[in-house]
Structure 1
Amino acid sequence: MNKWRGNPWVILTILSFGFFMTLLDLTIVNIAIPDMVDSIDASLDQILWVVNAYTLALAVLMITAGRLGDLMGKKNLFIGGVTLFTAASLACGLAQDPWQLIAFRAVQGFGAALLLPQTLSMIADVFPDEKRGVALGIWGTVAGLASVAGPSLGGLLVTKLSWRWIFFVNVPIGVLALIASFMFMPSAARTVKHRFDIPGVVLTTIALFLLAFGLIEGQKYSWNGAIWGTIAAGVVVLAIFLVYQRGQQENEPLVPFVLFKDRNFSVVNFVGIAVSFGVVGLLLPLTIYLQSVLGFSALKAGGVLVPMAIGSMLTAGPSGVIAEKFGGKYILMGGLIAYIGGVFWIIETVKVGQSWTGLIAPVVIIGAGMGCTFTPMATEVMRNVPPRLTGAASGVNNALRQVGSVMAGAVIGAVLQNQLASSLKDQAAQRAGAVPADFRGQFLRNFDDAGKHLEVGGQSSSAMKFPTSVPADVAHRIQDAAAAVFGHGFIDAMKPTMVVPMAVLAVGAIACLIIVGPNKEEAAAKAAAKEGAPAPDATAGAVDSAAVDSAADSGAASR
């Protein structure tokens, strides 16, 4: 048994169990919304907060958790995060009312925030350079699979068991990860006493909470003055945080600015925001289309997205190996272009009554493109980060990706609702002639505010109630017309909405041109260091880890 303790591949397997759960829970809940509404008598706003509470906790706490891993031990944070996440998952499955579920989802997000940054930084720590590409390829495969498997697995669990099992499924995985962590993960020795930047934690938490809350709730409150005030306050606090951090750079800051001196770290973090935006920007309207327009069950809707996971699995591994050896610049760019092409294909082909087979090819292309993004991003963002700062780097990277998800939810939701409000009125006016004259006024009024409340699974926007005196055949004709209005109206709204993630991904693809390829002199220096031979100067383009470590040690010693 001891021979496996500390084995990098065993550690990677354990980490994969942990972060698979956390990424899965970003998307698995959406497909269970109709069942949740019925089961615990929740309003749509409450159910949306079941989704948002998790995302908000992740976005707010990720930077803090990443830095805590550097200071308190990554194994400790990983185990603590898995424990909290697993317990909260069990509590979510047992929740009896909406507010219990929202509270437990927030705790679940807190656990996820603790463990998620540790996964990428521990991989960077335990794998040597020559094997890191394969390891990151596996990491990217699992990350890509988890990101797109949520609707598929969720549909299966909801259909065959109940919505509660989308949370219960985490319990055995979490317990297994915990047992394996204690058995196989070695304890890291700490030789320097570290300082934790408490004012920085308070400031960044407040700033990210205000920004994320404002973006999440903006559409609900019609982007009124209070929402813009919340966002503005978040920007102000964030500015204060950055000024404060600038003065703490010699004193173990929460966000070491030296990380951003590396061009690749800065650019790839921006690309990460674009990729997260693209994932949410695609899945939100597509999931509603599959269930509300095509009338697919949760299981069938999830099954339609399975090819996306397959495409991601096929490309994530090889792309990681190539990116580590030759650089991820063009692989990442190619993946984003493929993703854009798949979304464009969907825009051109969606229609009322479409067969699921017509979506297979574009969904596979999107998955393949996604697989070419996760691993190269991980490779490039961590390539030049010194070991002391891998936790902070991973925390910043993951936090910004969650900010991208929050932004996408706000922007895509707002665009889709605004487009839907207009398209439903237009479609209702076009199809009102099919409705008996006595009911046309009610028919048109039914769609006046229909776009303000999006629901997944069911065509609530087209539902109309009639007096019992209305003949059944007349009511049936009116309902058919209303269903046609909703179906065609949603497609008319969906197409311009999906242009938004395409545009964001295109900007990300262009930004990839700025990425710098691997420094051959640096690689030679690392190889020479292992052999004990003199090494050429390899400082160009890399983070000066020696200077950072020296400054950090000096700060720790002075305390």
Structure 2
Amino acid sequence: MSVRERPAPPHPAPGPRLRTLLTTERARPDAVREHRWAWRLAVGTVCFGAFMGQLDASIVTLTYQPLRTEFHSTLAGVEWVSLSYLLTLVAFLVPVGRISDVRGRKLMYLYGFAVFTAASAACGLAPGLAALVVFRVVQAIGAAMMQANSVALVTTSAPPGKMRSALGIQAAGQAIGLALGPTIGGALVSTLGWRWVFGVNVPIGIIALVAGHYLLPRTRQPAAGSRIDGPGVLLLGGSTTAALLALSVASGLGPPAWTALLLAAAAVAAGWAFLRRQRQIANPLLDLALLRAGRLGPGLLGGLCGYLVLFGPLVLVPVELARRGSGALATGLVLTALPLGFALAATTADRLLPGGWSDRLRSRVGAAGCVLALTLLVLLPPTATLLPLSLALLGLALGIFVPANNTLVMRAIPTTSAGTGGGMVNMTRGLGTAIGVAAVTLALHLFGGDTGARAAALTMLAFAVLALASTLPRRAR
């Protein structure tokens, strides 16, 4: 029998073929992989997730009032629509990043988009508040699968000399989603209803799934090992959840104030147990040696402070301007100065700043700009002219600081642990966001009026100073 006449090998059974399809990363088409813009296409695809995540973060709060009306709930109950999402997201980011390093970052990212999109549709169809909260938890798991891999996909796709520029593009995608959230959310709630605040994610998610399948690179260097530290996941999730709940209770969430102390003690105990376990097991969820290496520890601290300073004003400014009689449209226009400044600096700083500046120097300049902007926010009256200038300066400074700081963090992490590192970066972002919201709310709750606003601004200034300190050489710190 000739070679041509040999029978073709039997096809694999449908079951194994489907299993392989669902558990194996697919390579990009050759035309995409070899294109000179391949890394830009990958970064642009990741920006879908960056945009959606921040759009969702800034849009959901606009549904509070219609949810209270439709489901006859209190404000404390409706707040769980946001709180349940945030708690789940922060708890899952590092574990999902570790799983992604082993199983494949592209695979987990696409699954995250699928889960997030399906859960968004379910949120839009929720029959009651309890069901909506459950669907938000599922949505947060999908968001964790995306966000834990977003930074890793950007840094492993971009050439070494373009990493900071690529992270700046991703940060700009986040800022644009943050800036458009109040406008899009207000328009949807006032015309189509609150359900479309979640429904808007569905078409974007479908487009992103298709784009990700063809444009994202598969994982080149998977990490060794396949066992995930289940008890470590529970301890980390318990610690972060208890800490955020303690801040929320102290800010007037509803339970008695003494429960905040119990929650804080539980957070410390779970965190201590988590760190002790990570030192003892062979395949830790979080390699503590990474935290002691180079710039990683200070960089994560700086990232937490940076996102705290970014999200704190998003709570303070609307409350303060509403107290002074400003309308929603005027408040939205003033507030937009912050994310627009962030997006502008994140996309242009790499071209406008001197090429000889190191990432550490860029981080230091950005952090110093944050200190200056928040000092002006503390000292100057919040008028319609001066407040946008302070917010724009703060956004520009953060647009310089955040991409440079994230670059320092990711360069301190081995490529095989990029997913874990990306999860850590995004976990500090989630914690910074939550602490920023809680710290501002706590200051306003404790003091009220002009004193509360000034105390909130001083709190943000203190964290900006801490971010600046994180950029100093080790001996100076």
TM-score category, normalised to shorter length: 0.7 to 0.9
Question: In 1, Cα distance between the equivalents of 2:265 and 2:257?
Answer: 12
- Identify if the C-alpha distance between structure 1 residues 496 and 324 changes in structure 2 by more than 3 Å, giving closer, same or farther: same
- TM-score, length basis structure 2: 0.85
The alpha carbon displacement at 1:196 in A equals: 2.1
Question: Does 2:470 align with 1:511?
Answer: yes
Pick from 276, 292, 309: which aligns with 2:339?
309
Counterpart AA for 2:246: G
Matches within 5 A, 1:122-137: 122-137=153-168
Match runs of 1:371-410 below 5 Å = 371-410=399-438
* Contact 1:323–1:376 under 8 Å retained in 2: no
**Distance in 1 (alpha carbons) for counterparts of 2:169 and 2:474:** 22
Q: Secondary structure at the match of 1:194?
A: coil
Q: 1:323 to 1:148 in 2, by over 3 A?
A: farther
- Deviation per CA, 1:193-228: give whole Å up to 9, x if none: 533222322222222222222222333356633332
Change (3 A) 1:287 1:116: same
Task: Choose which of 444, 447, 463 in structure 2 pairs with 1:419.
Answer: 447
The residue aligned with 1:502 is 461
Confirm or deny that 1:232 pairs with 2:265: yes
Counterparts of 2:355 and 2:55 in 1: how far apart (Å)? 26
1:216–1:409 contact (8 Å) kept in structure 2:
no
The SS at the match of 2:91 is helix
More displaced 10-residue stretch of structure 1: 73-82 or 194-203? 194-203
Q: Which of residues 76, 79, 101 in structure 2 aligns to 1:45?
A: 76
Change (3 A) 1:382 1:183: same
In the alignment, what sits opposite 1:213? 245
Distance 1:491 1:91, change over 3 A: farther
Aligned to 2:396: 368
Change (3 A) 1:13 1:79: same
8 A contact 2:164–2:404 mirrored in 1: no
* Deviation, structure 1 residue 166: 2.5
Alignment check: 8 A CA contact 1:267 1:515 kept: no
**Aligned match for 2:205, one of 174, 182, 187:** 174
1:449-468 correspondence runs (5 A): none
Q: Report the residue type matching 1:265 in the other structure.
A: L
**Per-residue CA distance 1:509-550 (angstroms, 9 max, x = gap):** 12211379xxxxxxxxxxxxxxxxxxxxxxxxxxxxxxxxxx
User: Which piece of structure 1 moves more, 135-144 or 175-184?
Assistant: 135-144
How many pairs align? 441
2:343 paired with 1:287: no
| Whole-angstrom distance in 1 between the partners of 2:293 and 2:387 | 40
The CA deviation at 1:90 is 1.8
Aligned match of 2:357 in 301, 318, 326?
326
2-side partners of 1:24 and 1:401: how far apart?
15
**How far did residue 357 of structure 1 move?**
4.4
- Distance in 2 separating the partners of 1:272 and 1:406: 13
Deviation, 1:492, is 4.1
* 8 Å Cα contact 2:346/2:400 also seen in 1: yes
Q: 1:278 aligns with which of 300, 309, 317?
A: 309
Q: Distance in 2 between matches of 1:320 and 1:245?
A: 38
- From 280, 290, 293, the equivalent of 1:247 is 280
Question: In 1, Cα distance between the equivalents of 2:71 and 2:243?
Answer: 30
CA distance in 2 between partners of 1:160 and 1:344 (Å): 40
**Alpha-carbon distance in 2 for matches of 1:319, 1:289:** 31
Indicate conservation of the 8 Å contact 2:122/2:135, yes or no. Answer: yes
Query: Where do 1:87-106 residues align within 5 Å?
Result: 87-106=118-137
The farther-off stretch of 301-310 and 71-80 is 301-310
State how far apart, in whole Å, the 2-side matches of 1:155 and 1:290 are: 17
Measured in 2, the distance between the counterparts of 1:105 and 1:397 equals 22
Q: Summarize the alignment of residues 105-120 of structure 1 with structure 2, pairs less than 5 Å apart.
A: 105-120=136-151
Question: How does 1:542-557 map onto structure 2 within 5 Å?
Answer: none
Residue number among 348, 371, 374 corresponding to 1:343 in the alignment: 374
The percentage of counterpart residues that share the same residue type is 26
SS state at 1:63 partner = helix
Query: 1:113 & 1:370 partners in 2: Cα distance?
Result: 23
Q: Which has the larger radius of gyration?
A: 1
- Distance in 1 (CA, whole Å) between partners of 2:455 and 2:208 is 43
Shift of 1:358: 4.5
Inter-partner Cα distance in structure 1 for 2:303 and 2:321: 27
Letter in 2 for 1:197: D
Q: Could you tell me which residue of structure 2 aligns to residue 197 of structure 1?
A: 229
For residue 513 of structure 1, give the secondary structure of its aligned residue in structure 2.
coil
Deviations 1:259-289 (A, max 9, x none): 1122311111011111122123211121222
User: Aligned pair in 2 of structure 1 residues 171, 253: CA closer, same or farther (>3 Å)?
Assistant: same
Which residue of 1 is the match for residue 9 of structure 2? none
Q: Could you state the TM-score of these two structures normalised by the residue count of structure 1?
A: 0.73
2:68 and 2:268 map into 1 onto residues whose CA distance is: 35
In structure 1, how many angstroms separate the alpha carbons of the residues matched to 2:199 and 2:442?
Answer: 32
How far 1:180 moved relative to its partner? 1.1
CA distance in 2, matches of 1:169, 1:40: 21
In the alignment, what sits opposite 1:537?
none
Match of 1:436 in 2: none
Distance 1:47 1:164 in 2: 14
1:266 is paired with a residue of what secondary structure? helix
Structure 2 unmatched ranges of 5 or more:
1-28
Cα 1:185/1:340, change in 2 over 3 Å? same
**Structure 1 range deviating more: 310-319 or 223-232:** 223-232
* Uncovered stretches (5+) of structure 1, i.e. residues with no partner: 421-489, 517-559
The 10-residue stretch of structure 1 (200-209 or 50-59) with the greater mean CA deviation from structure 2: 200-209
Distance 1:39 1:221, change over 3 A: closer
Letter of the structure 2 residue corresponding to residue 195 of structure 1? R
Q: Deviations over 1:219-275 (max 9, x none)?
A: 335663333222212211211111111122xx3321012211223111110111111
Q: CA RMSD in A?
A: 2.6
